[in-house]
Amino acid sequence: MIEQARSPAIRLAAALVVGGLLLPAACGRGQQPATLAQETQLTTIGVNSHLWRASLETLQFMPLAQVDSAGGVIVADWYQNPATPGERVKVTVAILDGALRADAVQVSAQREVMENGRWVAAPVRAGTVQRLEEIILERARTMRQAAIAQR
């Protein structure tokens, strides 16, 4: 809860301070500066980099209206699937934490359908938001595993 309330600038400053304290202790001994869990939490963009990249990749087919890496928010513009021209969706992804956890990503979606020449709000299909969150988490975990394997 407290971690979420901190501003990105404070989190970055804390990361630099913690990094400065941990690196000298590991120098020259062949040790890693921090545990893998600690390392994956520290990023320069304010949120977990794996979740951030996975979110961008997942939404790459949609036009993006707003992208804020410091705040961890991606807002897609309205997307109309050519196969269903009478319907459009808008997705927002918020990354809430620096850790790679299921509760660190939150997806919301809006859906509209065309009725009598006007866009009208309609319910999002069941499971859509949850499935998008699962896809983002799966990609983020895969990215993390690939990063670990490259070491």
CATH code of the domain containing 120: 3.30.530
CA distance 75 to 109: 10
Q: Which domain holds residue 121?
A: 46-149
- Compute mean pLDDT per 10 residues along the chain, 151 residues long, and list them: 38 34 39 46 72 96 94 96 96 94 96 97 96 97 93 83
pTM across the whole model: 0.69
Overall number of domains in the chain: 1
In a domain, 37, yes or no: no
CA distance 134 to 130: 6
Query: What confidence score (pLDDT) does residue 20 get?
Result: 35
In a domain, 113, yes or no: yes
CB-neighbour burial class of residue 5 (10 A; exposed 0-12, middle 13-18, buried 19+):
exposed
Query: What confidence score (pLDDT) does residue 120 get?
Result: 98
